[in-house]
Amino acid sequence: MTHQPTEVPDIPSEDSILSHNHTLFWYDKPVEFKTVEEITDSNIFEQIPGFTVYKLFIGDFGGDVIGMQRIINKLQEAGPEDMLEIHIASDGGEVDDLIQLYNLCNSVFYKRVVTYVSHAYSAGAWTFLMGNERVLYEHSSLMWHSYSGGFGGKRQDLLDRVEHEDARLERFLMGTLSPYFSKKEIRKMNKGKDYWVTTMEACQRGICTHVLKDGKVITAKDYITPKKTKKTKKTKKTKKTKKI
C-alpha cells in the first residue's frame, strides 16, 4: 500500500459518483510483472495482481441520503485487493453517516484504507482515524469534540432513546479516541471542550502516521525529529613551503 496520493486520471463520467458533499472516483491498476531473478535464457517474474483504486473525497456529512447510498453501494463491490483513499476537507456533520462509512471501511476495506486531511473537524476528524495509514500535510488542521443532536417524540420515548444513543455514541466516538487522548481529556471533551490539533501534535499523539512535506512522504517520527543530513568532511589543504 502506498502513502503517496495517486494521480487522478482523466476519468469518464461512468467511473465517478457525485453526491451533494462527496465525490467517488475509481480506476483500475493493471497487472504488473516484476523481475525476480535474471537468467541467461529467460527471466523469472513475479506477477502483481491488478486491483481497483477508489478515491473518495469527503465534505460535510448529511443532507444527501441517496447520494451517500449510491457511494456506499459502489464501494461494497470492491474486491479483496482493492484499495480506498479518503481525502477529507470537512467541517463535520451527521454521526450516522460517519458510522456507516466506518462500518464499510472495517468490513470491505479492512487494513486497506489511507486517509488524507486538508482540514477535518468533528465527524471529519473521526473519518481520518479510519485509515490504517493516516497522512497529514504541514498545515492540516483537526478538531474533536462531543456530539450534538436532538430527537422528537413522547416523553418516555425521548428518555429511552437519549439513554440508548448516548451509550452507543460514547462507545464508538470516545472509544476510537482512547489510543490518542487521555481519560481526563476525553472527560473534558464530553463536558464540551473542543480539542484543536496541529500536524505536529497529531504526530506526537500518534494520530497520524505520515506527513506530506515538500513533495515527499515522511514518517511522523521523522517529522517530529528531522533526520540530520550527513556533512561531507573537507580535507585540509597543506601549504607547501618553498626551499631556498
> Tens digit of pLDDT for each residue in 209-218?
999 999 999 9
* CA pseudo-torsion sign 192, 193, 196, 201: negative
pLDDT at 125: 97
**9, pLDDT greater than 50:** no
pLDDT at 224: 95
> Tens digit of pLDDT for each residue in 38-64?
555 666 666 677 899 999 999 999 888
**70, pLDDT greater than 70:** yes
Cα separation, 126 vs 99, in Å, equals 9
Query: Would residue 158 be called left, alpha or beta, if left means φ above 0 and alpha means ψ between -120 and 50 degrees?
Result: alpha
> Tens digit of pLDDT for each residue in 139-198?
999 999 988 777 778 888 888 878 888 888 888 888 899 999 999 999 999 889 999 999
At 10, the pLDDT band (50, 70, 90 cuts) reads: very low
pLDDT at 158: 80
3-state secondary structure of 138: strand
> Tens digit of pLDDT for each residue in 99-134?
999 999 999 999 999 999 999 999 999 999 999 999
**235, pLDDT greater than 80:** no
pLDDT at 50: 84
How is the chain split among helix, strand and coil, in percent rounded to 5?
Answer: 30, 30, 40
Radius of gyration of the chain (CA): 24
Residue with more model confidence, 231 or 46: 46
Characterize 51-80 residue by residue with b for buried, 16 or more Cβ atoms within 10 angstroms of its Cβ, and e for exposed: bbbbbbbbbbbbebeebbebbbeebeebee
Cα separation, 183 vs 189, in Å, equals 10
Count of other CB atoms within 10 angstroms of residue 199: 22
- For 226, the grid coordinates are 528531522
In the chain, which residue ranges form alpha helices assigned H by DSSP?
A: 65-75, 95-107, 123-128, 155-169, 175-177, 183-190, 199-205, 220-224
pLDDT at 8: 46
Residue with more model confidence, 229 or 72: 72
pLDDT at 161: 79
